[in-house]
Each structure stands twice: as C-alpha cells, then as structure tokens.
Amino acid sequence: MDLTDAQRFAFDALDLIGAFAFAVSGALAAVRRGFDVVGIAMLACCTAFGGGIVRDVLIGAVPPAAFHDLRYLATALVAAALIILWHPPPRLAGAPLDAADAIGLGLYCVTGTVKALEYGLGPVPAALMGVATAVGGGMLRDLLTARTPSVLRRDSEIYLVPALVGASATSLVTVAGAYSWWTASLAGLGAIALRLLALRFHLRAPLARGGRDRTEG
C-alpha cells in the first residue's frame, strides 16, 4: 500500500500529535516521581518513541523514524520543556497524565496500524501491530517509573480495548480503501473517547474466577 500525499500528511499529523501527547504523559510521570530535568526529557522521549520504535523494528523499518526524522525529537523535547516550565503539583499530575496518555493511545493505534499495512502486513497482523504501538510507550514509561503497567493492573480502567477497537477500525477502513484524514481521525477520536469514558465511569474488565482471593505471593 502506498500513501498519497494527503494520506501521508494525515499520518504525520496524527503521529506527531500522538508523540506530543505521550511525551507530555512521560514528562508528567517523571515530575510525579521527582526526576530532574534530564530525567524528565529522557522519560518524555522514551514514552513518545517507545511504541513507534517497537513497531518500526518489528516491521523492519529501521532505523526507526524517531531517530532519522528529527521532528519527533523536537516534538518530544518541546513537550518536556513545556511540562518543566509549567506543571501541576506532582500529587495532582495523575488526571492530566491519564488524559495525555489516552490521546497518545488513540492516535498511535491508528498510525501504528497504517504503517504496518504500508509495510505489507495483512489486516489482522497490522491491527496487532497498531495495538503494540499504542501500548508500548506507556508500558515502557510505567516500567521505568517502577509501576505495574496500566494495561495489566486490575484496578485500572480498560486500556487495551480502546486500542484494539481503534486499530481494528483503522485496519478495516484502510483495507476497504477508505483511509483518509477523516476516517483516520475518526478512528483515533473513537479510541480516545472510549478510553476517557472508561476512566470517567471506571469501566473495568471482569476478573477471572477467584480473582478476588488474591495473594501477592
């Protein structure tokens, strides 16, 4: 699949906005842990680039865009600088962090899927790659700040499902030849809305039988 110029512009715009959002979430997580300014910039970059680097390595698009397309580095560093200059008190950073993470999650599940399709993957593998792109950066951020990733925790609202819905929708519309600025944005906004609704109304996935009787052992 080859992208037209308009489709390429839509891809770049959504991917850079996603990188900005994830960089903000990484910078806020760093602020919450009291990291210094270098640690904040570093965690912003790891969060913004983590998912995309994993995707690019897995589809063979090396070196990854985050390394040779310097707009990504500039975007992440601007986000980190903004958070260094202005951020909520660390104990109130949770809500904006979750919101920024939701935006990154929604946009990356779209762009991850599109780039995988562009590199010749089938619709189902491409959607899986979109999910990996969407959750990869956040998982790295959580590992590096010693938190169990949201995508796994029982006390966290559904996280994987919005990414899966957005990636599947993107894969479907693209394979149907209807990929455009509007459909891509719609899929991304749908995934973001789903994640924000899950956060707002505390939608959680069910536990396995006996899951309540847990021991940390």
Of residues 173-202, which lie at the interface with a copy of itself (CB under 8 A)?
none
Closest approach, Cβ 155 to a copy of itself, in A, equals: 9
Give the span between the Cα atoms of 209 and 50, in whole angstroms. Answer: 34
Considering only residues 113 to 152 of the shown chain, the ones binding a copy of itself according to CB under 8 A are 116, 119, 121-122, 124-125, 128-129, 139, 143-146, 148-149, 151-152
Listed ranges 33-41, 102-110, 167-175, 177-185: which one lies at the site for a copy of itself (CB under 8 A): 33-41
Q: What is the DSSP letter of 201?
A: T
Closest approach, Cβ 62 to a copy of itself, in A, equals: 4
Q: Which of 17, 42, 107, 199 binds a copy of itself (CB under 8 A)?
A: 42
User: Does 36 engage in binding with a copy of itself (CB under 8 A)?
Assistant: yes
Give the span between the Cα atoms of 73 and 6, in whole angstroms. Answer: 23
Long-range Cβ contacts of 200-208 (<8 Å, 24+ apart): 202/157, 203/157, 203/158, 204/154, 204/155, 204/156, 204/157, 204/158, 205/158, 205/161, 207/154
Closest approach, Cβ 10 to a copy of itself, in A, equals: 24
Give the span between the Cα atoms of 204 and 17, in whole angstroms. Answer: 27
Closest approach, Cβ 213 to a copy of itself, in A, equals: 6
Nearer to a copy of itself, 177 or 211 (CB): 211
Q: Which of 10, 14, 24, 30 binds a copy of itself (CB under 8 A)?
A: 30
In 10 A of CB 118, how many CB atoms?
18
Considering only residues 59 to 118 of the shown chain, the ones binding a copy of itself according to CB under 8 A are 59-60, 62-64, 67-68, 70, 73, 83-87, 89-91, 93-94, 116
Closest approach, Cβ 6 to a copy of itself, in A, equals: 27
Give the HSE-up count for residue 6: Cα atoms under 13 Å, Cβ half-sphere: 7
Give the span between the Cα atoms of 26 and 49, in whole angstroms. Answer: 11
